[in-house]
Amino acid sequence: MTAPDTRPTIRLKPKADARAIRHGMPWVYADDLVTDRRTKALAPGSLAVLEDAERAPLALATITPASKIIARVLDADPQAEIDQAWFSTRLARALALRETLYDAPFYRLVHAEGDGLPGLIIDRFGDTCVLQPNAAWLEARLAPLTAALQEVTGVAHVLKSASGRARALEGLDDASGPLAGAPPARIAVPMTGATYIADLAGGQKTGLFYDQRPNHAFAARFAKGARVLDVFSHVGGFALAALAAGAQSALAVDGSAPALALAEEGAAATGVADRFATRKSDAFAALETLATEGAQFDLVICDPPAFAPAKSALGQGLRAYERVARLAAPLVAPGGALMLCSCSHAAELAKFRAACLRGVGRAGRASQIVYTGGAGPDHPLHPQLGETGYLKTLMLRLLP
């Protein structure tokens, strides 16, 4: 590990906004950094002292020379030691928030930059934590990070998930596996009145999406006695919450047979299997087929994957969100509700909302916006980084 007094330095260009770094901005883009031969030769994940254009120290950063986000600020103290004690301090701060928010240890424990740990995602499932190290500086420090995580939380099991898209951009492998203990492959998770089955070893991301928890709860307010359609359902997120709240029936649509099997297990564990059905299908095809069948639902939820994962895909992504809304709106009974979601950080709320409203309008439906939501409070936003507020959710009431 590099001693603080021997760390290399990296320097902002004169045009770069050093004040933003001083005020807490955690990212430095490649266009704002002097990238001479020495800087380009630094190993991904190296620690370096970030200086302003006049060579005054600003912060301790980690560098990935080939990335557009070339440096990430780790600490305002350029001499900070990134060791187990440092991780423990950050993790204890993150844990204190979650213990304030939740009665049970099922939540996102670390939300990357939002918790001062760039590139790191940790989801907690009782006595097990699933860790996604999506940056090179973390990959090189898994041992002290894991030790700190167990020290602070007392969990017995830690599993590394290498499924994040960002890992490839950092030049990292896709090898997942246990870091401590013997993590279970699957676990039952109580949430929003339902029981979900999380596939920790083989599921998407960490195995379950905690971010939609408050939106599950809001949608469930419309569920009592309702016929519910949950499209892009994954492991039954909205459908199971709706059934637990008294929905008459719920149909979950997803393209993944394993995800739907987990949803069925969750329905059985929740005690609602008799009111739950699944359909394996491409979501767009399913929406079109249901329309030809004359199907009607009192509550329709569409929670697709990121259609606009980057700015370059924004136009195509917004057209996809518009299409989802246009196909879903005719399936909503008069006076019913339509919830539309986006996890694309590149699609800001105003553009996502406009696309959804265009789609609903082109379906010939009039609507009211009754709710705008985001991720739960276990996904805190970094004040200077809009990307941490990636999730957008709209609830529309479709008028008769």
Catalytic residue positions? 343
Task: Indicate the SS3 state at residue 133.
Answer: strand
Beta strands 120-125 and 106-111 are: antiparallel
Residue 12 CA to residue 53 CA, distance in Å, equals 5
What is the spatial distance between Cα 177 and Cα 201, in angstroms, rounded to a whole number? 8
Residues 144 and 123 sit within 8 Å (Cβ to Cβ): no
Backbone phi and psi for residue 196, each to the nearest 5 degrees, phi listed first: -110, 150
- C-beta neighbour count of 310 within 10 angstroms: 12
15: buried, middle or exposed (CB in 10 Å: 19+, 13-18, 0-12)?
exposed
Q: Look at the alpha carbons of 114, 119, 122, 123 in this order and tell me if their dihedral is positive or negative.
A: positive
Contact present, 300 and 229 (Cβ < 8 Å): yes
DSSP character at residue 166: H
Positive/negative CA dihedral, 245, 249, 253, 259: positive
